[in-house]
Structures are given as C-alpha cells and as structure tokens.
Structure 1
Amino acid sequence: MFSASPSRAWDVRRLPSAEDKVFLVTGGNAGIGYFVAEQLAATGAVVLLGSRDAAKAGAAMASIGARVAGARVRHLPLDLADLSSLAAAVDGSDLDHLDAVVHNAGVALDDPPRLETADGHELMFGTNHLGHFALTRWLAPLLSAAPAGRVVTVGSFAARSERLDLDDPQSTRDYRPKRSYGRSKLAQMCFGFELDRRLRAAGSTVLSVVAHPGGALDSLTPSRPPVHVTSPGQRLRALPAGLLVQGKEAGAWPIVRATLDPDVRGGQLWGPRLFGLRGLPRHEPVPTHMADGAVAARLWAVSCVLTGTESHLGFPAR
C-alpha cells in the first residue's frame, strides 16, 4: 500500500490504504458495483453494500471475503425505488460518519412496458436519479461529519448522446427504454456536477465527483462465482470486442480512483483513458451539455419537487 501523490503514478493494482475509511456502494452486490466494492475492500476500508436483496448481498460479501484477506464488508438494506424507506435505511447503518458514497445502483430496461417505482415514478429515472438524489439528503450529515466526504456518481457513456426533456422527465408521453435509460444516467451526471457547484458555494468540505466505466461487458469480466460467471467460450468470443471495450473489473477503476485519490477535485469527470471506453482511469473534460448550469438548476428544482426534498439536500444552505 502507498499514499497517492502527484509525484507517483496511480496504480490500479496497488491502491492506497484506507483502513480508517467507511464507504457505501449502492448496488455493490453485482456488476460494476461489485468490483468497486471488492477493490475498495482491498484497501482495508469498511465497505457497505447497499442492496435490497439480502441473498445477493450475502453472496457478494462471501466472494469478496474469499478474495480479500480480512475484508470488512457489510450489507445495508437499501431500496432506491422506495423513497420513503431511505431515511430508515440510513438510520439503520449505525454510522457516525461516511467518507464516501458511490451512487452506482441502477436499472436498465431494454423493452417496454413502461414500469414505475413504489412512488409512481418511471422506474429508471426514479431509481437511477431520484433515488440517489433523495439518498444524498439522508447521507448529508454523515458525509459532512467525515474529514473530507465524497459523493461519487456513476454515469454512463450512453449519456453523451442524450439530452434531458425536463418538460417530460419521466417519459410519460414518449417512452423508449434505451433513451429513458440514457436520460436517467445523464440526469445523474448533471446532478453530480450541480451538487459540487452548490457544495463549493456553501463552503462545504464534501466533494462531488462523477465517473463512468466506459464500455464494460459481462463477457470480458473475470468470474466471481456465484456473483458472476464467465465461461471460457464467452471470453474467447468477446476477445475482438476487447480492442475497444473492457470487463467490469476494469470498468470499476475510474470509479475507485474518483473515490480514493486525494488529488481528485470536486466537479471532475473520470473515465477510461482510451476513447472513454477502455483503459486506465483519467480525468476527462466535461461535455458541454453536462456542464449547463441552467439545465442542471432546473433538473435540481424538478427533483426536489418529485422527491419532496429541500433544495440544500441537508448540506449547509447557500
């Protein structure tokens, strides 16, 4: 283990020690979130897996424990599709501070019909964006109690080609699953950048950073049974795609760096080095449509109304 510094290159295989840290990874029981949690656990940190499925969380904890000696991993029951449950979930964490939350959990639907959350919100927008927006409000005191708390929002390469329709944010008039997914991830990313602007204006010590995994395929992902199994045949067939994209273990690298690296700054975007699709993590320029402060402010106001949340999200008001 070593302490990262500007004079020493970041090494995804030799992460800095974080034995005194506590991290929450939403959706940490599967996919990108699992590998984020596994890599963070290897730093010695306490890692909470935010998941509504206790059995899947248990399988993920067992897998991490088998690969990381002395791993300190816990399950935090969490259902982002049920906004009324979030306050109790955070209260049940028994934490006095939280060094970082990784807003990773997400729903991706490929086909109709349009589905809704328990609160009546379109499922992808309601879970991916509104659930994390509301969760941030309840985590704000814990993040503020840490010496340098961090909110790391996991976006998607798919958000680059989408634009928000804030007159119909929940796709009630024209529902197309893949477009709705891309817009939900764009909303998350715009939220992450706007949150940092508001935190800086308030003089908060908490940072908000956005990261994305690039192109991350199951077929290029190393097996972690029973959480994920990739057959030799699947890996062989996926090798040509590996020239452009990567597996989910590597997809976790930008997110882990955004969580751990002391040189990361609020408002930054982190992703894979090669065309934003694969490779080692790097600091990327923020696309213009994600940096639009007017759109982000309007999204923020809409999100407050839909979640019944105060505009300051529990952080000091500006």
Structure 2
Amino acid sequence: MTHWDVHHPPRADSKTFLVTGANAGIGYFVAEQLAGTGATVLLGTRNTAKADSAMTSIRSQVPDAKLGHLRLDLSDLSSIKSSVDTLGIERLDAVVCNAGVLLEGQPRRETAEGHELTFATNHLGHFVLVHQLMPLLEAAEAGRVVTTGSFVGKSAELDLEDLQSKRDYQPKRTYGRSKLAQMLFAFELDRRLRAAGSTVLSVVDHPGGALDSLTPPRPVHATSGGWKFPAGLLLQGKDAGAWPAVRAVLDPDVRGGEMFGPRVFGMRGEPRLEPVRGKLADTALAARLWTASVGLTGVEVTR
C-alpha cells in the first residue's frame, strides 16, 4: 500500500457516508475528518439535539461541511428499517458502524425486544442496519461497510450459548464480546459478499487506545484533564483513534476483509494494515455467529 497521510486524505466530494454514533467520541472525529474531504456525511444518532450540536462543532472546523442527520436507535431493531427509509438517497458509498455502549457499573438491561442492551446496540443493531442499507451500498460504484472493533475485542471469548449474557453478566466482558462479535460479523460479511460477486467491501478498523485526556477539545467534547504523560507515549486521543476508520473508508487500495489499526503496538499512531489471525480468522466461529444473529434478528444481510 502507498503511504497514507492522515492529515491530507483524498477528496471525496461526490460521495455520501453514514457514521453511526457520530455525535461524540471517536465517531464524531470520523465524521469531522470525512467532512473535510468534501463528502456528504450523515450522522446516525438517536438524539437530534446532540446531532445538531455535533454538526455545529464540525462546521466550526470545516465551515463548508455538507452534513445531515439520520435519527437512528440501534437498540430498537424494529425501528431501523423505517429510519433507513427516511434517508431519501439513491446510493451510499460507505457506512461506518461505530456506535457502541459500555454500561459500566450498571446492572444487566434488556431492550423492549428482550435483547441484552450492549449486545443489541453494538452488534445486532448494526447487523440489521447493514441489511437495510445493502441496496444503497450496492448502488454505489464500490460501497464499503467499515466496522469499528476494539483492541479488547481481540482478547474476548465469545460464548455462542450465551450471547445475551444471561449467565454471570459483567459489563466490560459483555462489551468485549459484543466488539468481537462485530469484527467476526464484518469478516464473515466480506466472505459472503465475495461469494455473491458483490462490489461492496467489508473492512474492519479499531482505534487502539484512545483517551479523552489526549483528545483536542471540541464544543461537543471537552477534555477531561488528567495526566497526559506517560499515557501519551502509549496511547492517543480520539481524533487519532478515528484515523483507521477514515482510512478504511477512503483509501483506494483497501481490499475487503482487511483490518486497520494504529501502527505502534496496535495502540497509537498512524493507521496500518494489520494481520487477521486468532479468533478473528476463525471462519467456523464467524459462520455460527452469523446464523445466531439471523435467528435473533430475523434478517439476512447479503442477498
């Protein structure tokens, strides 16, 4: 691959991208950086007021940004189709499946449909969303599904017999499992897209170690203070955590089934191509998760 300059990504003036969870955190910076390329960026969030604040913040950095809001509640699977139906666009060049929740310090919660909330939001919601978006992605010249995983997801253990964490629920462990599920889904999706002869690519990214205290302030994101040294030697801000997703969306050399993460020990630095190995390369596990996800959602992503 050619050298990737995180500060000067290629222009994307005629393209349209959707970023879930774009009102704060890494998703916000993905949207801000993509807006700087001239693309139309749609912010997929539940809260309209927060989306408006995020768009105001992006325009303070990118005055000519072309932005829109898709009201999207990934925890409510039955609402996703009607949300997508409101888009009113003919094609979508990429969706960044970034939104996620970690219910630290809270008891196990279920959605109205009876799914554990973290798993439903982080994995099942995106599974359904990609299903609904596939016709728009297929209509693009080379659509992309970019799934934001997590460093902790690499070391998680997925229990296919307890995807809803009904036994011994622990918030951080459930979060890690949900991120592993997202990454496995993304790799399995690409295999199925290739088998179907689709032009859509599925790519994975992860942000490494991204801290609030190392993140530049924005109107929607105030840094929390704290010590920047020595954390800055090993970790990075959420603006840099967005770089792998942005590269996965824009780099013309990207191929389906690839994964991008920070260059330095997978924790900080410019995005680079990473090997897919271990559990992430377990095609049997991914296929079983896919079957389970179809059963839980009632949708089949590829056509």
The answer on whether the counterparts of 1:157 and 1:212 sit within 8 Å (CA) in structure 2 is: yes
Which secondary structure does the structure 1 equivalent of 2:19 belong to? strand
| Partner residue, 1:195 | 189
Q: Which residue, out of 25, 28, 35, partners 1:31?
A: 25
Q: Which deviations, in whole Å up to 9, do the C-alpha atoms of 1:242-277 show, x marking residues without a partner?
A: 110000000000110001001011000100000000
1:91-141, CA deviations, whole angstroms, 9 ceiling, x for partnerless residues?
101111000000000001222310112211111101000000010110000
Aligned residue among 262, 283, 287 for 2:273? 283
Amino acid corresponding to residue 139 of structure 1 in structure 2:
L
What is the CA–CA distance in structure 2 between the aligned matches of 1:238 and 1:55, rounded to whole Å? 31
Aligned counterparts of 1:164 and 1:51: Cα–Cα separation in 2: 27
Alignment-derived partner of residue 3 in structure 1: none
Does residue 260 (structure 1) correspond to residue 255 (structure 2)? The answer is no
In structure 2, the partner of 1:230 is 223
User: Equivalent residues in 2 for 1:1-318 (5 A)?
Assistant: 6=1, 8-225=2-219, 227-230=220-223, 234=225, 237-310=227-300, 313=301, 315-316=302-303
Letter in 1 for 2:80: L
Measured on the aligned residues, the alpha-carbon RMSD in Å equals: 1.0
1:195-243 CA-partner distances (Å, limit 9, x unpaired)? 0000001110000000000000011100001x11126xx16x2221011
- Aligned-pair CA distance for 1:287: 2.6
| Letter of the 1:275 counterpart | F
For structure 1, which segment, 115-124 or 250-259, has the greater mean C-alpha deviation from structure 2 after superposition? Answer: 115-124
In 1, distance between residues paired with 2:3 and 2:279? 31
Is this contact kept in 2: 1:50–1:76, CA < 8 A?
yes
Q: Which runs of 5+ in 1 are unaligned?
A: 1-5
Contact 1:154 1:189 in 2 (8 A): yes
Structure 2 SS opposite 1:239: coil
C-alpha separation in 2, matches of 1:275 and 1:109: 27
- Percent of aligned pairs with the same amino acid: 67
Q: Secondary structure at the match of 2:230?
A: helix
Deviations 1:35-84 (A, max 9, x none): 00000000000000000001110000000011102100111100000011
Q: 1:15, CA displacement in angstroms? A: 1.1
Cα distance, 1:173 vs. partner? 1.2
**Which runs of no fewer than 5 residues in structure 2 stay unpaired?**
none
Supply the distance in 1 between the matched residues of 2:229 and 2:94 (Cα, whole angstroms): 35
The TM-score with structure 2 as length reference comes to: 0.98
Q: Give the Cα–Cα distance (whole angstroms) in 2 for the partners of residues 164 and 222 of structure 1.
A: 35
Q: CA deviation at 1:163?
A: 1.3
Letter in 2 for 1:284: E
Whole-angstrom CA distance in 2 between matches of 1:47 and 1:259: 12
TM value normalised by structure 1: 0.94
